[in-house]
């Protein structure tokens, strides 16, 4: 394998492409597409998003101290791209994309009804790191669409058609390769000599 050396940059792909919804203290609501997001901690449940301070959404989140991370699907791909390239200063993205506002249980920001998972967050800290500032947040509640629960009551997000972002392009995830621990799970058909 022959490789080129590039200048420093982020090539950790794919990443989630999520719709972050918020409501400013003045009542303005908006949605912004974020790819710089993820889990910080399991217990306590914490997540983060990173935004440029020039984004319209930045001040709304900074002032209100809360936001919702809404997972996206193949059906939401067009809206995901639109909400990333259009500014909330100019358009009402909920209206333009015909997205359903749903009430959150712990925050004032609206949730996106078409999203299979909505994660309600309260900002704990803001870290300025150059081009982007990281909003570190406590997860207060998670809402999951009952459509994706199987007969045993287990949530199957794989059926939702979740999308990811990779180096300027959107992809639909779907092929299951295994589940956590499958690489070390003992095969019942193995003989004791092979175990």
Q: In the chain, where does DSSP find H-type helix?
A: 56-64, 77-85, 93-96
pLDDT of residue 172: 92
CB 161 within 8 A of CB 75: yes
In a domain, 80, yes or no: yes
In a domain, 7, yes or no: no
Q: In 24-124, where does DSSP find H-type helix?
A: 56-64, 77-85, 93-96
CATH number, domain containing residue 85: 2.30.110.10
Taking the C-alpha atoms of residue 83 and residue 103, their distance in angstroms, rounded to an integer, is 20
- pLDDT tens readout for residues 153-187: 888 888 889 999 998 999 998 777 888 888 888 77
In a domain, 135, yes or no: yes
- pLDDT tens readout for residues 105-127: 999 999 999 999 999 999 999 99
pLDDT of residue 188: 56
pLDDT higher than threshold 60 for residue 195: no
In a domain, 191, yes or no: no
What predicted TM-score, i.e. pTM, was given to this entire model? 0.91
**Mean predicted confidence (pLDDT) in 23-39:** 97
In a domain, 189, yes or no: no
pLDDT of residue 44: 97
In a domain, 104, yes or no: yes
**Tokens standing for residue 5:** 């050396």
Give the residue numbers spanning the domain of 152: 15-172
In a domain, 83, yes or no: yes
- Structural domains in the chain (count): 1
**Mean predicted confidence (pLDDT) in 66-73:** 97
């Amino acid at each position: 394998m022959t490789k080129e050396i590039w200048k420093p940059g982020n090539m950790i792909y794919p990443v989630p492409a999520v719709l972050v919804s918020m409501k400013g203290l003045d009542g303005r609501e908006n949605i912004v597409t974020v790819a710089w997001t993820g889990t910080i901690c399991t217990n306590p449940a914490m997540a983060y998003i990173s935004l440029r301070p020039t984004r319209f959404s930045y001040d709304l989140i900074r002032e209100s101290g809360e936001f919702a991370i809404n997972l996206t699907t193949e059906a939401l791909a067009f809206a995901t791209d639109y909400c990333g390239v259009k500014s909330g200063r100019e358009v009402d993205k909920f209206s333009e994309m015909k997205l359903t506002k749903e009430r959150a249980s712990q925050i004032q920001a609206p949730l996106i009804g078409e999203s299979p998972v909505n994660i309600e967050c309260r900002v704990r800290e803001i870290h300025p790191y150059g081009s982007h500032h990281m909003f570190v947040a406590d997860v207060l509640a998670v809402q999951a669409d009952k459509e994706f629960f199987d007969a045993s009551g287990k949530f199957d997000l794989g059926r939702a058609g979740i999308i990811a972002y990779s180096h300027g392009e959107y992809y639909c995830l779907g092929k299951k390769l295994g589940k956590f621990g499958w690489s070390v799970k003992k095969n019942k058909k193995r003989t004791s000599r092979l175990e």
